Structure 1
């Protein structure tokens, strides 16, 4: 008997049908395990924004993608693999020079801390040790103003746009070339802008 986590198929002559567990229909021989949320069950953390402060909602894992964005919840029926970046993508960093050249990483709504540590919200684990492991630099997307900002992180290494050090928060323009280190340069590409934000999709879905 297989160990599929979602279902077992039994021959009708199989004496060990699992009836005592109440897992299936005896007439069909098809049994499905019911996964109930408990303290040990996996959950997805959705980062959104309330009226005054950031809110994190923990929701039991499902087979459907659920998007919580800007205080607006929209449910999408297409199946998708779980991704650490649970917010809708609002933009990308594309590595154009240095280790990882040609690779891209996703940016989500709100605060994006960037570093080489794989656990960072936006990770650049391509081997450039001149990038701080955590909080090298921050990119913020404000879904209300639909603007991007770049700000220095708490790491010891600096970030430059052109020849200027990012020492204070400043607007981040589309296609800006960001020098994370002497080795690694990335191009910022915005997906959300004044013409589009994911809240538009949620609003259109609610109107149908």
Structure 2
């Protein structure tokens, strides 16, 4: 995930296997604490990587401010696609996955070893 517009433009975040929470607090995997107070401190949204499906998903965290994927509100869990634009508050991120069709950390043919996604 890369911040492409708004506070924190240019910062990037590595997603890990399982649930990655988005918020302003130190405990959030994707910490968007660049001065955008419209983002909740905890669990404004979440992105999950499902290793079995080799797929990423986004869901809202039940907060008052809407999370948008490609300019549409995220009202339930949705599959993410490469290049998706995610807007949280006044901050816009672009989703550029390394894992996906043709590559997975668990695929020994692609990695040359059995290293799992951290």
Normalising TM by the smaller chain, what interval?
0.7 to 0.9
In structure 1, what is the equivalent of residue 107 of structure 2?
200
Q: Relative contact order: is structure 1 or structure 2 higher (C-alpha 8 Å, sep ≥ 6)?
A: 2
Unaligned runs of 5+ in 2: none
In structure 1, what is the equivalent of residue 10 of structure 2?
102
Report deviation, 1:170. Answer: 0.8
Quote the Cα distance in structure 1 between the aligned partners of 2:113 and 2:86: 36
Larger Rg: 1
Q: Name the one with the larger strand percent.
A: 1
Report deviation, 1:204. Answer: 4.0
Does residue 112 of structure 1 match 2:33?
no
Of the candidates 178, 186, 190, which is equivalent to residue 97 of structure 2?
Answer: 190
What SS does the aligned partner of 2:2 have? Answer: strand
TM-score by structure 1 length?
A: 0.51
Where do 4+ consecutive residues of structure 1 move more than 3 Å?
201-204
Does residue 174 of structure 1 match 2:62?
no
Report deviation, 1:201. Answer: 4.3
User: For this pair of structures, how many residues does the alignment match?
Assistant: 113
Unaligned runs of 5+ in 1: 1-92
Quote the Cα distance in structure 2 between the aligned partners of 1:153 and 1:132: 9
Report deviation, 1:120. Answer: 0.9
